[in-house]
Each structure stands twice: as C-alpha cells, then as structure tokens.
Chains A and B, each alone.
Chain A
Amino acid sequence: MSNILEIKAVNKAFEKFSLQNISFSLPKGYIMGFIGQNGAGKTTTIKLVLNMLTADNGSIKVFGKDHLLYEQEIKERIGVVMDYPFYVDEWSLSDVERSLLPFYAKWDSKKYNYLLHQFSLDAKKKVKELSRGMKMKLMIAVALSHDADLLILDEPTSGLDAVARNELMDILTSYMADENKCILFSTHITSDLEKIADFITFIDNGRIIYSDTKDDLLENYLLIKGGLNQLNSEQKKQIIGYREHSVGFDGLVEKSLVHSLPKSIITEPSSLDEIVIRFNMGGKKHE
C-alpha cells in the first residue's frame, strides 16, 4: 500500500456549500499541502476523513483501509493538530496524557515528557495557561507520542508568529526523516508550505482545482505583466486572475501558453499564494 490517504469521488452537500467530486491521494513518505482560501472546503474534507461528517458518496481509504470499517485501527495511527486545542482547558499537561493514554496502544510516556521538555512546556501547567504557540506544540507532542504514521494538521499556524511557524516546520521536517510517515497540512498560510511541501492539493469552492507535485504547480504557472494593449481579447481569456490597471495588466497563465504571447511580456515565477489569489480572482480555471 503506497497511498496512505486515498479520497475518491467524495461528495458532501450542505445548505449553502457543497464538496463536489473530491479526489486526491497522498503517497507514503511525503508532505501534502492542502491549500485554498477560507471556506473553500479544506476543514470539511478533513472532517470527512475523521468521520466527523459523513460523505454523501465516494470512498475514503486510510492506510489502504476503508475509513469507516477500520475506523478504530486507523485512528490509533493518526495524529491530529488543529488551530485550537481540543482538550479540557483546565487540564494540566499531565492530565492530558493520563486521559488519552488508554486509547493508544503505542503511547510512549517517556517520549511525551521528553517532547514537553523539548518544547519548553511545563507538565504542571494547565492547557488554558499556554500561549497559542505552546498550545500548538502541545498538540504536536500528543500526536508524536503514539508513533502516528499520518499527521493531519488543520490550520495549525493561524495566529502564530513567524518564529513559531518556523519551529513547526523544523518539527515536521524531522518527523518526515522517516520515509514511512506522511503529513496532510491544510492551511491558508501558503508560505509555510512553499518550501517543504511535496504535493499540493488546491481546493476552491468545494472543487479540487489541482492535485499534484508542488514543483510542477510552480513550474506550470507563471505571472505575466505587460502593457495595456499588448494582448488581444482571445489571449486575455486565457489569463487567470486577469487584472488591469492604469499602467498595464498582470495575471497568471499556464506555461504552455507563454510562447504564444508577445515576447515583450514579462514573465516570472509565481508563489503558491499568488496562485491561490489569482484562481480566486476568476478567469480561466484549471481543468
């Protein structure tokens, strides 16, 4: 089994929003960044994987097994980090361990205390006394203490400063030194993923716009800038997030189209952020 997570043709309809035909896979040993603006469906997808929501149809497999039939087995091997700690805020960090320990066959108490020490977390402190960054590290400590093979992170860095975010990146890259581990990292702060993500799944308005390697995504889309009259209307239609202003225009295009554009148009590599922004602005959509 080489795919740790496999989502196929999943649909989930709500009143004002729906996930449509969501499919993507995460192979073992890689980090997948799950990007898209707020409300695009990232958290909903993660909730479906965790069985907090039931899909209308489609299949979700984790570690090669159906996520409902083998729910308990699967959850022993998953570590989850969200943007808020879902523990009793009055618990001490030792209480957290004592409460969760019976649910994990592989819980390693030494490791938990070691990690608390490494993250400068005092076991006697209460969860509510921790700063935002420390709360995130607490969740990581819990996730790493039962030898989870898949880490699912949903907006773990929102509200954190650059230093704390960088610390998280260090922790995650160390975790990935083991080629049997996997990370699904959902965030709207794409700069975190820019460096370390292997795969990117881009979701917009409930639909998967792109799901493949990050390198390909960044190589396939270029930012272009030029003068107001350099493009005809046909060409303008090919541009994603076309923006015209008083002294020119800019936008995003697929690399394959660049050669058909006037040579004087400036092209430059795009960032993940820019891609999300441009797709959100409209214009020609991928697939």
Chain B
Amino acid sequence: MNKVISFIRLDLYTIKPYRKSLYFYMALGLIMAIAFKSLSILSSFFMVSLVLIMAYPFTISEKNGMETLYSTLSLRRKNVVIGRYGFVLFIETISIIYMSVVAALLSTFFTIDFSMKETLLTLSMLSMVFSFIISLQYPFFFRFGYTKARTLANIPVFVIVLALGILPNLMEKSWIFQSWNTFSQVAEANPILLFFLPLASGMLALTVSCFIACRLYGKRDL
C-alpha cells in the first residue's frame, strides 16, 4: 500500500511542472461560466481538464524514459499500475469536490441558477463516463505505451460518445424506457443512491480495468 501511495505521489510530481496548462483551462472555464452564467460550461471544461490530466503521466513518462526509472525503484510492476489507477481516483475525487465548491461559490457570487443536488448528480455522471473511458484506454497504454496506443485508445472514446448519442433513440424503445422509468423513480426517492451509483459503477469498471492492465503490463518488454 505504501508503494502505491508513493507512486501516486510520484505521478503528481510528474505532472507538477505542467500544471500551468491545467490552471489555464480551469481559469478559462471559470471565466466562460461567469460570462455565460452557466454552470454546465464549467462542467465541460472540467471534462476537458480531466482528459488532459489522465494522459499526462503516460505522455510525460514516455517522453522522459521513465519506464526505466520505475524499473530502478523498489516497485513491482503491479504497484505501477495500481498506483496509476490510484492517481486517477485521486484526481477524480479532488475534482468532484473542487467543482462542487466552485459551483456553489459561483452561484452565490454571480447569481447563477444552481442546485447542489443537480450539480453533484451531474458530476457523478461525468465521473462515471470518465471512469469508463479511462477503463477502456489505460490497458492499451500500459500494454503498448502511449504513442503506439494513442489511436487504438481513442476508439473507446468514440464508442462511448456514440453510445451517448444513440442513448436518446434507444430510450424510445419501450422496454428500456420502462425500466428506466422504474429506475428513475427509485433514484428520485434516493438521491444519495443516484449520486453514488454512477461513482460505484465507475469504480467497478476501473477495478476490472486495473486487473487487466496489471496482467498486460506485467508481461510487457520495456
């Protein structure tokens, strides 16, 4: 466990020199949100920032030959993988907290329509989408390295975006609609459930993905 935490810390240090672009996007998001009086714009920038960060450890470590560094440290390969996924979880958690606080502050100071409940639910859903994307991408990165896997790894993103696009059409199919109805009724009654369910499924996806990535990375020739 110790090693995993040390690795998360290492990943944070790895992206540390590049935090300025992150701040830029976040600042831009804030400005746009204030300008357009819309919190959903903030969410979009949130998503963009996450996409950037999630690939950073791979791009930076590949550029600097850090696979060698990881091999010289007292780490097992699986610590590297679990640590990277830990990094993802850490960033997601911080982001959700950060975004909720910012949303609350913005609405107070700039009188934007805001409901904490809605914001949290939106963040939870976004988080789930991200977790799914990462779950699909990371095993590719671990197996082939970022540069080689880049194109391959973008396929899942397309698939998910496509799925989200088709979703409304699918919804019209009655049986899905009905089960969704029942689901929404249950969810309405339990907003807390609604908040944690997407997060949980995201976590599940990440866990499965982590197992797979561990095996792939474990066998890889560096």
Complex: A117 Cα to B72 Cα, angstroms: 24
Instruction: Digitize A176-205: 1 where CB-to-B-CB distance is under 8 Å, 0 elsewhere.
Output: 000000000000000000000000000000
| Stretch of B24-32, B59-67, B181-189 lying at the A interface | B59-67
Which residues of A lie under 8 Å from residue B119 when comparing CB positions?
A: none
CB–CB B65/A103 < 8 A: no
Q: Which of A51, A72, A89, A104 contacts B64 (CB 8 A)?
A: A89
CB–CB B71/A52 < 8 A: yes
Q: How far is the CB of A10 from chain B (nearest CB, A)?
A: 15
Q: How far is the CB of A108 from chain B (nearest CB, A)?
A: 16
CB–CB A73/B221 < 8 A: no
Complex: A50 Cα to B6 Cα, angstroms: 20
B9 within 8 A of A: yes
Complex: A103 Cα to B13 Cα, angstroms: 14
Q: Which of A50, A74, A91 contacts B13 (CB 8 A)?
A: A91
Q: Which of B2, B5, B18, B67 contacts A90 (CB 8 A)?
A: B18
Q: How far is the CB of B55 from chain A (nearest CB, A)?
A: 15
A54 within 8 A of B: yes
Complex: A198 Cα to B69 Cα, angstroms: 28
B173 within 8 A of A: no
Q: How far is the CB of A215 from chain B (nearest CB, A)?
A: 31
CB–CB B221/A53 < 8 A: yes
Complex: A69 Cα to B187 Cα, angstroms: 49
Which residues of A lie under 8 Å from residue B222 when comparing CB positions?
A: 47, 52-53
Complex: A79 Cα to B65 Cα, angstroms: 17
| Stretch of B73-81, B99-107, B110-118, B195-203 lying at the A interface | B73-81
CB–CB A103/B71 < 8 A: no
Chain A, range 35-74, C-beta contacts under 8 Å to B = 47, 50-54, 71-74
Count B interface residues, CB 8 Å: 29
CB–CB B13/A52 < 8 A: no
Which residues of A lie under 8 Å from residue B69 when comparing CB positions?
A: 86-87
Q: Which of B17, B63, B76, B219 contacts A72 (CB 8 A)?
A: B76
Q: How far is the CB of A231 from chain B (nearest CB, A)?
A: 47
Interface of B is mostly: helix
| Stretch of A26-34, A92-100, A245-253, A258-266 lying at the B interface | A92-100
Q: A53-B222, A54-B221, A98-B13 are in contact. Are A104 and B65 (CB under 8 A)?
A: no
Which residues of B lie under 8 Å from residue A47 when comparing CB positions?
A: 71, 222
CB–CB B64/A86 < 8 A: yes
B147 within 8 A of A: no
Complex: A80 Cα to B74 Cα, angstroms: 12
Complex: A110 Cα to B222 Cα, angstroms: 33
CB–CB A103/B64 < 8 A: no
CB–CB A88/B60 < 8 A: yes
CB–CB B73/A103 < 8 A: yes
Which residues of A lie under 8 Å from residue B96 when comparing CB positions?
A: none
Which chain B residue has the least Cβ–Cβ distance from A92?
B17
A84 within 8 A of B: yes
CB–CB B221/A82 < 8 A: no
CB–CB A88/B67 < 8 A: no
Which chain A residue has the least Cβ–Cβ distance from B9?
A102
B178 within 8 A of A: no
Q: A87-B66, A91-B17, A102-B9 are in contact. Are A78 and B72 (CB under 8 A)?
A: yes
B68 within 8 A of A: yes
B38 within 8 A of A: no
Q: How far is the CB of A96 from chain B (nearest CB, A)?
A: 9
Complex: A212 Cα to B68 Cα, angstroms: 29
A75 within 8 A of B: yes
Tell me which of B13, B65, B74, B219 has the highest count of chain A C-beta atoms within 10 A of its own C-beta: B74
A76 within 8 A of B: yes
26 A-B pairs in the complex with CB atoms less than 8 angstroms apart: A50-B68, A51-B71, A52-B67, A52-B71, A54-B221, A71-B74, A72-B3, A72-B74, A72-B75, A73-B74, A78-B72, A79-B72, A80-B72, A86-B65, A86-B66, A86-B72, A87-B66, A87-B69, A88-B66, A91-B17, A99-B13, A99-B14, A100-B73, A102-B5, A102-B9, A103-B3
Q: Which A residues form the contact surface with B (CB < 8 A)?
A: 47, 50-54, 71-76, 78-80, 82, 84, 86-91, 95, 98-100, 102-104
Q: Across chains A and B, which 4 residue pairs bring their CB atoms closest together, nearest first?
A: A90-B17, A102-B6, A75-B74, A52-B222
Given contacts A88-B66, A89-B63, A99-B14, 13 further A-B contacts (CB under 8 A): A47-B71, A72-B75, A74-B74, A79-B72, A80-B72, A86-B66, A86-B67, A88-B17, A88-B60, A90-B18, A91-B13, A95-B17, A99-B13
